[in-house]
Structures are given as structure tokens and as C-alpha cells.
Structure 1
Amino acid sequence: MSDVILSSSAALLIISRCGIPLGFGDKSIGQICQEHHVDTKTLLLLLNSSIIENYDPTPEQIASVHLDSLLKYLTNSHSYFLDFRLPAIRQRLLSAMSNCPQDLTYVIRRFFDEYAEEVRKHMSYEDRVVFPYARKLMAGERDSHYNIGIFIKRHDQIELKITELKNLLIKYYTAPSGYEMTSVLQDIFTVEIDLAGHNYIEDAIFTPLIEHLEQKMA
């Protein structure tokens, strides 16, 4: 396990969001998964999808995914973005803009807050509607008023608007040059990639899995 994390920072985030703490010594992935009640096949698929560029899960891999382990990863990811990552970036962004003109600070703060609220609404819908629907499917219950096609139609790419924030800062940030704003921009670049990866897992693993479960119950 330690070799996997040392080779990829993305693996560290996957492990953390699956509820696996650091400090596992020389234990194997299988041993760690057993200790923390995480399905090994699901974790390996998440790792491969995050580390290997253009990785395309097979139908057989999708069908073998353990839904509880996947949902644990997805809900923990939402908490990471909403409760930790975005608030931390906001705090650092405001600190970096402390010497900017007030009108520019207002515009950028408002833009960021609107974006964060957009992300919150997006993830809240999944937590309140989509994931409970998936759990019911797994329990053998079919909701005649909902299907995964509804989710697919409204599943927008939430990382796109953050590109506009980067452009806004790069073009119009007028305070004296310094490392603080550069560091904030690096954080924004990183969270943009992270959100894109999160969306990819929902589109390439979660959605096909729910389609598979729906077909089994048809």
C-alpha cells in the first residue's frame, strides 16, 4: 500500500476518502481493506481510474463493484470538498487579496462564493436523492418515480466554472506580485483536477453500476 501512495498523490486522496488512515506499515492492500471494511476490488478500481490516464473500466469490473464501499468514497469526497477544501481555498484567497482594491475583492469573493454554492447544490442533490436511490436498488427496491437517467441528464461538470475563476485572477489581480496568490492559484488548479476526477468516477463507475442494477431488476 505504501508503494502505491508514494507513486501517486491521487492515491493518497482515494485512500483517505475510503476511510483508510495512514500508518499501515508494510501491509498489503488486501490486508488494509479487510481491516477497514473496504472492498478490495472497488478500491483497486478507484485507484486505477484515478492514476492511469484514460482508464476505461470494463463491464465486468463495474458489475463487481461493492456499492457500499463506492458510496462511502463518494460521500466522503463530498465532505472533503465542501467542508475542507473549498473553505480553505476561500480563506487563503481572501488573505492573498487583502491589498487589492475593494471592488475587485468583492467581485472575486462573490464569484467564488457563488461557485462554492453551486458545488454544494450539486453534491447535496446526490447525497439527498441519488445515493439513497442507489441504496434502495441494492436492497431490491425499485422507485417507479426515479431512474439513473434523470441523474445523467442533470450531472453537469462542476469543475468548469472554476476555470473562469482562474482566468479572473490571472487577468485582473492587481496587487503586488507575491507567492501567496501564486500558491492560491496552484490550489485552484489542483482542486479543478480533483473535481474533474471525482466527476469521472461518478460517470465511469457509479452511473454504469446503477444502470446495471436497474437492468437486473427490469
Structure 2
Amino acid sequence: MYNRGKYKPTDKMSDLICGNYNSLQVLSRFELPLGFGDQTVQEVCDSFHVDWNTFLAVVNFISEENSRVADDFEGLSVVSLMNYLKQAHHYFLEFQLPSIRCKLNEAIQPAAGDKVAVLIMKYFDSYTEEVRKHMDYEDKHVFRYVEKLLAGERSDGFHITQYARRHDQVEQKLKELKNIIIKYYPANVNNNLLNSVLFDIFCCEDDLISHCEIEDYLFVPIVRRLEEGEK
């Protein structure tokens, strides 16, 4: 049973959220609603049939920035973690990136002749498409492979280590976009709005890094154990 890290199953869920607001994203991706009163982490998770071991593993992994390599996977649920990752994909592709695009477009208002603004929007759209392809591959191939493993079906053509090798860090282009805006976009725009969208891009970048690390350091190892027959 996973019981390592700062947060414990007996902690109040409200204290966890107030002590680490990044946990709101985890809460959402495990499909846990607000309004849980003084219930503990375990009580809230049990109420909504969420594996609290896996929930705490993700929360503690994100909160313990100086300890990014997990080594205790006892009691973690492959299904629960995979559902979390699927919900994260939905959030990035259907909410966060479209929201940033809308806000960015309003902030720079690309017009004919404004080459930098047009370049920024094209770059952002290219980046979004790259993220979509990356996450679609995971949804359609990696997760289906894992679902077959859970059903007892073995595949000779794919192993989770292949996924780990091709798992390039999709946040790199976001760093480049951020630098283009900071270094080259003219200052005669609505600075409050532009600074606000830059803040959103920084947050998105951090969120994507964390997401990729959860895949690399939690998901891949427990699937590898599944491949080896350790459940």
C-alpha cells in the first residue's frame, strides 16, 4: 500500500487543497468534485470510487519537487492512473490550450502586415497540433495496449519501454513560444492581457512537465511490472 510522502489518507481533503493549490488539477482529473466538507482524503476518494493510493501517489509526486523518482508502487492502480492521464489529455486539448489561444489572439490581435503576431499564432497552432498528435498516440495505442494487458492479452509487437523512448518532452516548443513573445513582440499592446496570457503559458508549461514526469516515473514503471506479471 502506498503511504509515503507529505500527504496521508487521514488528512482532510480541504487542508490538502489549501496547502497545495496545484492539487486542484489532480482533483479534477480524478473526477472528484468540490464540496467535501471535513472529509479525509480516503473518505472523499472512497465516496466517488477513486483509488486513494493512486490519488495520493500523484499528489505527493507533484508536491515533492526534489524527489521526482518514485520507487514504491505497491497498491497503485494502473486503471486509476490511466484514467487520470486520459482526463489530463482532455483538459489540455479541450480546455487549457484553446483557452490560451483565445486569450493570446485577443492580446496580440494579429492583423495584415503584423508579421510577428501572425508568426506567434501560427507557432501556437503548430505546437497545439504537435501536442494533439502526441496525446492521440497515447490514447489510441499506449492506453489500448495497457487495457489489453489488463485483460490478459499479450502483444509481441509493443512494449512500454518503446513508449518511454519515444516520449519526447512536448513542452519544449512552449518554451520557444514564450521566448518569442517576451523578446520580440512590441510593447504597444494591452500589457495586462499579454502578461496574463504569458502567465497562463508558464503555468501550462509547468503542468505539461509534471504530466510527462508522471507518465515517465509512475505510469511506465507500473506498466512494466504488469508486463512482467507483477500485479
TM-score, with normalisation over the residues of structure 1? 0.95
Name the SS for the 2:152 alignment partner: coil
Higher mean C-alpha displacement, 46-55 vs 189-198: 46-55
Q: Which amino acid aligns with 1:173?
A: Y
- CA offsets 1:67-117 (integer angstroms, 9 cap, x no match): 111011000000000000000000000000027752112111100000000
Identity of matched residues, %:
43
Query: Match of 1:114, as an amino acid?
Result: S
Q: 1:152 to 1:99 in 2, by over 3 A?
A: closer
Greater helix content: 1
**Corresponding residue for 1:98?**
109
CA offsets, 1:15-55, max 9 Å, x none?
A: 11000011111111111111111101101100000111133
Does 1:53 find its partner at 2:65? yes
Q: Decide whether the 8 Å contact of 2:117 with 2:185 is kept in 1.
A: no
Residue 207 of structure 2 is aligned to residue 194 of structure 1: yes
Over 3 Å counting, the alpha-carbon distance change for 1:155 and 1:99 in structure 2 is: closer
Equivalent residue, structure 2, for 1:113 = 125
Give the aligned CA root-mean-square deviation in angstroms.
1.3
Equivalence map 1:118-197=2 (5 Å):
118-177=130-189, 178-197=191-210
Structure 1 stretches of 4+ with a deviation exceeding 6 A read none
1:175 CA displacement: 4.1
Query: 2:48 aligned with 1:36, yes or no?
Result: yes
- Structure 2: which 5+ residue stretches go unaligned? 1-12
Distance 2:186 2:96 in 1: 25
The range that moved more, 93-102 or 150-159, is 93-102
- The Cα of 1:144 is off from its aligned counterpart by 1.2
8 Å CA contact 2:78–2:223 kept in 1: the answer is: no
- The aligned counterpart of 1:80 is 91
Report the Cα distance in structure 2 between the residues aligned to 1:31 and 1:113, rounded to whole angstroms: 42
Give unmatched runs, 5+ long, in structure 1: none
Matching residue of 2:7: none
- Partner of residue 24, structure 2: 12
Distance 2:17 2:66 in 1: 20
CA–CA separation in structure 1 for the residues paired with 2:210 and 2:173: 15
- Tell me, what secondary structure is at the counterpart of 1:9? coil
CA–CA distance in structure 2, aligned partners of residues 91 and 175 of structure 1? 20
What do the CA deviations read for 1:142-198 (whole angstroms, capped 9, x no partner)? Answer: 111111121011101001110000110011111415211000100000000000000
Measure the CA separation in 1 of the matches of 2:135 and 2:28: 19
CA contact (8 A) 1:99 1:175 kept: no
Distance 2:136 2:22 in 1: 24
Q: Is the 8 A contact 1:137 1:214 kept in 2?
A: yes
Which of 15-24 and 95-104 deviates more? Answer: 95-104
Contact 1:94 1:109 in 2 (8 A): yes
**TM-score (normalizing by structure 2):** 0.90
Q: Distance in 1 between matches of 2:164 and 2:74?
A: 19
The equivalent residue for 1:66 is: 77
